Amino acid sequence: MEISRLRALRGPNLWSRHTAIEAVVTCAPDECCMASIQGFEARLRARFPQIGLLQLAGHAESVPLAHVLELAALGLQAQAGCPVTFSRTTATSDAGVFQVVIEYSEEEVGRRAFALALELCRAALADTPFDLVAALHELKELDEDVRLGPSTGAIVNAALARNIPYRRLTQGSLVQFGWGSAQRRIQAAETDRSSAIGEAIAQDKELTKKLLDAAGVAVPHGRPVSNADDAWDALCEIGAPVVVKPVDGNQGKGVTVNITSREQLNLAYAAAALISDEVLVEKFIPGSDFRFLVIGNHLVAAARREPPIVIGDGKHSVRELVEQVNSDPRRGSGHATSLTKIRLDDIALASLATQHFTVESVPEQGARVVLRNNANLSTGGTATDVTDDVHPEMVASAVAAAQMIGLDICGVDVVCDSVLMPLEKQGGGIVEVNAAPGLRMHLQPSFGKGRPVGEAIVANMFAPQQNGRIPLLTVAGTNGKTTTVRLIAHILTTQGLRVGMTNSDGVYIQGKRIDTGDCSGPKSARNVLMHPDVDAAVFETARGGVLREGLAFDRCDVAVVTNIGMGDHLGLNYISTVDDLAVVKRVVVQNVASTGVAVLNATDAMCVKMRDACPGSVIFFAQDKHHPVMATHRAQGSRVVYVDGGDIVVAQGKQEQRVALANIPITRNGTIGFQIDNAMAAIAATWAQGVAWDVICKGASSFVNDAQTAPGRFNFFDYHGANVIADYGHNPDAILALVPAIESIPANKRVVVISGAGDRRDEDIRRQTEILGDVFDEIILYQDQCQRGREEGEVLVLLQQGLVNAKRAKKIIEITGEFLAIDTALADLQAGDLCLVLIDQVDEALAHIAMRVVGK
């Protein structure tokens, strides 16, 4: 059994809405039936008992090892604690070759689980050892390393609950919520509105104290020190006990409290100096340590923090007691768990020494042994929720502190005896203000109830009716996608929106191309959704990107499917039939929002079938309003778009709106059928999006289909009185759509320039010239430099084979090179002739034609 290809499907895809790993797995003939491998299942279960059923009851078909690999890869993730449930194995058209798909929650974990599952299956085949414990430990460790920490994860989960999409921008905790101009960003518990100045102030503990003191907030007195001797002088000035901390530390690093002796001070100074060049000595305030979480102008959570301790039992040493505490599954070595393991470091040893203990001491029953004086969770402390008990004046002090420093999310550290009374009445004070505060103690306190702090942060970022989404329209199909996308984008621009658009020509932001080439895949779409100057997104969604990576978005407002035809890379990636292709194109329809709309071609049976897959509503379009699908749909009160009396009509029930085809330039007064279809699709999409009718009409009438606006989409040039048309038609269906348009244009002689893409099926290449040979008088065949895997001259042979029974073509020329072929055609044109150039290198070919036209 071998894996020949492994892909990460990072969005909704052909198989499911889950993120998934897709693999192409080849099984040897004897591996296509597990039952034929004697003892295999028993050996497999001995190595992985939790694998579950390999075949459902009542199913008699053979189980290939690819299916076993699927269940093993999914099962290993599940046993490692990953929330995954979906998997599937499908046989391809090639014997012994299967597509195996498993859901993942973290891509790296999914990939590694696949590799370990393959090792497991091979070990069961060869009857060799497989270390399940080590494999699961590796996956758990990897998952903990790469998944979002609890603070960021809580915010992400809260956003998802409000239907706000998110994208992780780094391997760390930088996350984007929403799309385009509606987006917001966080990094852990910091937002894009967190003041950089506020963060700098919070890092400077001395400056923080000065500002809070100026605001009338109770703070402990102290001063910065330059060395251990200066620290001792400060202690003597302030009076013991004191606290020593780095001026710009965080997470309790380098903080030592309740210092009364020179020996303690020297150790504390050394610990603080490791964290910062500047050290602060301040008065120690007796009492409990509290953390208040302020978001916006509200206190949303409060917790009492306890330092790491162990309780003696008269039997075990301090070291053994620490090991017992650290065995709690809630404790980990980082921030991924709700609690952190206690460390027996120099600070812990010093703390033990002040209590006359060592790590080998056996404390008596009930003795409370403190391992550290500061109470941060990151150093092994615990937390008890006290949110409901905080006195209103103490709340006001915490909010005032956050606002004085300038932080929208702020952790305020308070030391006092109780939260039930104001700070001033008990001699308490605010000892620190923290940017990017940890949320663990509030989400999963050691005692008391957790608080919805993730929800509070999201509510502070997005108003109640906001979900961070912008209008998102996507267009799929075999032909007409790019023109439809461009027209939709133009109409939305006419509405006053800043539009981001992707298509097979590039990426456009507000009409400016920022990337070139075929950008109809998910990577380009994600780049548009990340751009802050985009109010609406319009995507051409090609088959290749869906198969390769899935969609770039979780759901769309409008999905258009123009048509499903032959020749669109059939035979690649196990998409062998038009039915297979329809399943791929249907993915955009399946992921329409429940409030969204699918715009479907009523004359295409494959498109019509997609209506059942749409979670939202459907608009059908067709030139014939009497088409049975159209008539039935309208009779049911649903929306339709059709042609009537020289107008494009949008209708629902008895209500109609009209725009004359004569006012839509791309249709050339209604003479170009496929452009009418494209215009109907774009008008239907913007109608579905709620664009005002007058705006739709204005946009459709001002859209010009020239080489600058829609390159390679039926672009007209005048050359010595001959019509030259450049088009990117590249499959039989596209050429069939072009023929009626060509035949509607009077011409003394018709000439076509064509090549064939080498990665298409032989029959598709032949079919193109079969069609053209009955329509054109002269045919110029050219071979380009890139043959896409074909032998030299192979494409030309296939094109010639398509002309064997040509009814009209009398002159056939073979040329090497696209530009030379164009020049050859132009050189023989006379006024009144027509030349169709089916271009391959769109921008370069259009520039070449334009240069010839200008230089005529």
* 677-708: pLDDT as tens digits: 999 999 999 999 999 999 999 999 999 988 88
**624: amino acid identity, one letter:** D
Cα–Cα distance for residue pair 147/333, rounded to 1 Å: 15
Greater model confidence, 257 or 270: 270
The per-residue pLDDT for 788 is 65
- Alpha-carbon distances, residue 57 vs 54, 60, 71, 100, 173 (angstroms): 10, 8, 16, 21, 45
Cα–Cα distance for residue pair 160/164, rounded to 1 Å: 5
Q: Pairing mode, if any, of strands 647-652 and 639-644?
A: antiparallel
Q: Indicate whether 568 pLDDT > 70.
A: no
**Of 12-26, 506-520, 644-658, 719-733, where does mean pLDDT reach its minimum?**
719-733
The per-residue pLDDT for 439 is 93
The per-residue pLDDT for 566 is 64
User: What is the percent of the chain where pLDDT is above 70?
Assistant: 97
Average pLDDT, the chain: 93
The per-residue pLDDT for 131 is 98
Cα–Cα distance for residue pair 320/313, rounded to 1 Å: 11
The per-residue pLDDT for 354 is 86
Phi, psi of 329 (to 5 degrees): -60, -15
Give, for 443, the enclosing helix (H) or strand (E). Answer: helix 440-443
The per-residue pLDDT for 372 is 87
- Alpha-carbon distances, residue 568 vs 479, 522, 575, 730 (angstroms): 9, 18, 10, 8
- Alpha-carbon distances, residue 710 vs 195, 446, 511, 585, 744 (angstroms): 44, 62, 12, 23, 21
Cα–Cα distance for residue pair 48/72, rounded to 1 Å: 8
The per-residue pLDDT for 56 is 66
- Preceding peptide of 615 cis, ω within 30°: no
* Confidence label for 250 from pLDDT (cuts 50, 70 and 90): low
Cα–Cα distance for residue pair 313/123, rounded to 1 Å: 47
What is the SS3 assignment for 317-370? CHHHHHHHHHCCCCEECCCCCCEECCCCCHHHHHHHHHCCCCCCCCCCCCCEEE
The per-residue pLDDT for 39 is 94
The per-residue pLDDT for 818 is 92
Q: Indicate whether 120 pLDDT > 90.
A: yes
Q: Indicate whether 60 pLDDT > 60.
A: no
The per-residue pLDDT for 731 is 86
The per-residue pLDDT for 379 is 84
* Confidence label for 712 from pLDDT (cuts 50, 70 and 90): confident
Q: Indicate whether 403 pLDDT > 70.
A: yes
Claim: this prediction has a pTM higher than 0.75 = yes
Cα–Cα distance for residue pair 732/736, rounded to 1 Å: 6
Q: Indicate whether 750 pLDDT > 80.
A: yes
* Confidence label for 841 from pLDDT (cuts 50, 70 and 90): confident
**Of 36-50, 522-536, 553-567, where does mean pLDDT reach its minimum?**
553-567
The per-residue pLDDT for 125 is 96
Q: Indicate whether 567 pLDDT > 70.
A: no
| Of the candidates 688, 677, 673, 692, the residue with the CA atom closest to the CA atom of residue 599 | 688
The residue count for the chain: 856
Q: 166-221 pLDDT, tens per residue? A: 999 999 999 999 999 999 999 999 999 999 999 999 998 889 999 999 999 999 98
Greater model confidence, 357 or 757: 357
| Of the candidates 488, 473, 476, 478, the residue with the CA atom closest to the CA atom of residue 680 | 488
Looking at residues 741-754, what average pLDDT do you find?
A: 95
Cα–Cα distance for residue pair 519/540, rounded to 1 Å: 8
Cα–Cα distance for residue pair 690/254, rounded to 1 Å: 58
Q: Indicate whether 46 pLDDT > 70.
A: yes
**560: amino acid identity, one letter:** V
- Alpha-carbon distances, residue 604 vs 565, 567, 629, 685 (angstroms): 9, 16, 10, 17
The per-residue pLDDT for 575 is 78
Cα–Cα distance for residue pair 855/523, rounded to 1 Å: 39
The per-residue pLDDT for 248 is 79
